[in-house]
Amino acid sequence: MRKRKGLLVLIGAVVLLLSLSIPMMQCAPAPEEEVTPPPEEEVTPPPEEEIQYGGRLNIGFTEPIESLAQTGGLMWTTWGCLYDLLVYDNLEHFNLPPDYYKFNPRLVQSYEVSEDGTVWTLHLVENARWHDGEPVTAEDVKFTCEYLISRPEWADVDVCFDYIEIIDDYTVKIVNYRPITTTNTPGWWSWDPILPKHIFEPYKDDVTLYPNEEAIGSGPFKLKEFKPEEYMWLVANEDYWGGRPYLDEVVFRYYGSIDTILMALQSGEIDVITDTSIPPLRVSDLEANPDIKVEVVPGITLYWLSFNLHKDTPLQDKNVRQAIQYGVDRDRIVDMVYMGYAKKYDSWIYEEDPVHHPNLPQYDYNPDVANKILDEAGYIDTDGDGIREDPATGEDLAFELLSPDDVYMVKMATLVSEALPEIGISVDISTVDWDTFFDTIYYPEEDAYEIAVSRDDPAPSPYADWIWLEAKGWGVPGDGTEWNSSYWNNPRFNELTDLLGTATSFEERRAYEYEMQELMAEELPYAFLVRPQWISAYRTDKFEGWVNEIGGPVSWMNPWSTLKLHLK
């Protein structure tokens, strides 16, 4: 805001000078007369506008958290991720576009990497302190890496510590069992919180068991009060090593429905909604409020069909999976579920990302192609009931489609179930609560599901390297097995997920990700559906400085509005 005002003042001064020059030229004396030009007028730049400190930012959530314990479940919620980004420090800040591939220092101010890419030497900021006054040192980083980040639920493609060595209080050496020489720093630097060793050490055998009710971090905000599944109250850390935030307070509030959270935004009870996009039907109501800004940005969420490739069904036949992908009318999902506020997609890499493969098969809706694939594979309707039979068993080509109790996902499941009979496949929908859904799809070897409507919120590459674990094969060391809901196991794909972390140039990295995308498009362990656009809404009557990027002004990877907002 300060830069914009300064620019406008400067432009105004230039326009004024130009307007004055016009009558001066019209009254110019004859050439023979000698004229002494007036001295050039000096333009004094306006004083910088002083940013006001203060105010309480109220953020609305539709998904609460039950505990502050540092469990893997905490990191699966927007609330939990944002809490970790504000109350704790990470090694590196998330970057804003287009600088995703640049190092953005936080606790780590600089680093060196050995020539073979196995040794990373990190230099920490030297004036960071925990909220209880204790200094943040290399011991805390070592402890966090060994007892939190190395845990299976924190598994990532670039977490491969062999051992960690303390050089001095503010220098730590991480030695990896394989090279990590990517063109960017490891993704976990940006989202994993650094924990205080002096508090968590008694629980080092399982740090997730520590209730963490005081939440002593080293970040720009401190925890003042937390009531599970209701609210969280944060206050500014006056002594934050990076400078205190402009806001005095941030309050997270839980609302049980979209109606109540929208009413809270309209009334001013909250300033922004974070973990749900605005329903298209409610846009006009919000736009009528002069204190609310509605803005559409690229979405962060992707939806797909998960195929259980462990269970002995025709889904193990790639022909069936390809036919289903061709048989789903994704344009109809875009129009009927999202009223046009969505796009089809073809990869876990967003289309605007420079490592997105531009020539992937699109699998646009084509029931004729789907029927041809099934005919040639021997799936024929032999009894004339409209449903094909499995040539191996003679049983109907029929599947159960699992969906969580989510309005958008249930609508998608319904449209899928309506489309697939056109290609001779029967689908029955089963709807369960979210906890049951996760407990079912992430343990495919229990054969409790066949097809599921699934979703996740990756991130722009390189922060989304972890998403590949959702397709990395079972039984592979360090694979984060429980993430792979399809049970797909492609040796080359598994190898590429490891090679991705060793790329020594952007071109090499892109080559690996191109091949990974090609393998997924060919084998289809998942059938990609749609990427909704994010319809964001936030109030403009109290604060300015909103940072609205992919996924909205506040998201699991966007703390910048909270850190940059200030009173108007």
**For 244-295, how does the pLDDT look when each residue is reduced to its tens digit (9 = 90+)?**
999 999 999 999 999 999 999 999 999 999 999 999 999 999 999 999 999 9
**pLDDT of amino acid 49:** 66
Task: Give pLDDT, residue 17.
Answer: 32
Q: pLDDT tens digits, residue range 335-376?
A: 999 999 999 999 999 999 999 999 999 999 999 999 999 999
507: confidence class by pLDDT, cuts 50, 70, 90: very high
Burial class of 372 by CB neighbour count within 10 A (0 to 12, 13 to 18, 19+)? middle
Ordered by where they begin, the domains of the chain are 51-86+219-297+534-568 (3.40.190.10), 89-206 (3.90.76.10), 302-532 (3.10.105.10)
Look at residue 154 in the predicted model and tell me its pLDDT: 74
Highest mean pLDDT pick, 61-75, 356-370, 458-472: 356-370
Average pLDDT, the chain: 89
Q: Which residue has the tokens 């736009």?
A: 287
The lowest-confidence range among 82-86, 184-188, 382-386 is 184-188
Q: Is the pLDDT of residue 50 over 90?
A: no
Query: Under 8 Å CB-to-CB from 335, ≥6 apart: which residues?
Result: none
Which among 176, 144, 139, 140 is positioned nearest to 158, based on CA atoms?
A: 176
- Determine the Cα–Cα distance for residues 79 and 559; give it in Å rounded to an integer: 11
pLDDT at residue 100 in the model? 85
The pLDDT, as a whole number, for residue 476 is 59
Secondary structure class of 100 (helix, strand, coil): coil
Q: What's the rounded Cα separation, in Å, for the pair 491 and 485? A: 17
For 155-172, write each residue's pLDDT tens digit.
Answer: 677 788 899 999 999 999
Q: How many other C-beta atoms are found inside a 10 Å radius of the C-beta of residue 417?
A: 17
- Model confidence pLDDT, tens digit, residues 77-96: 999 999 999 999 999 999 88
Question: How large is the C-alpha radius of gyration of the chain?
Answer: 28
Looking at residue 552, its pLDDT comes to 94
> Do residues 326 and 363 touch, judged by C-beta distance below 8 A?
yes
Under 8 Å between Cβ of 535 and 341: yes
**Cα dihedral 9, 12, 14, 20 sign:** negative
What integer pLDDT is reported at residue 125 of this predicted model?
98
**Pairwise CA distance, residues 139 & 145, whole Å:** 10
- pLDDT per position as a tens digit, 308-320: 999 999 999 999 9
* CB-CB contact of 229 with 66 (8 Å): yes
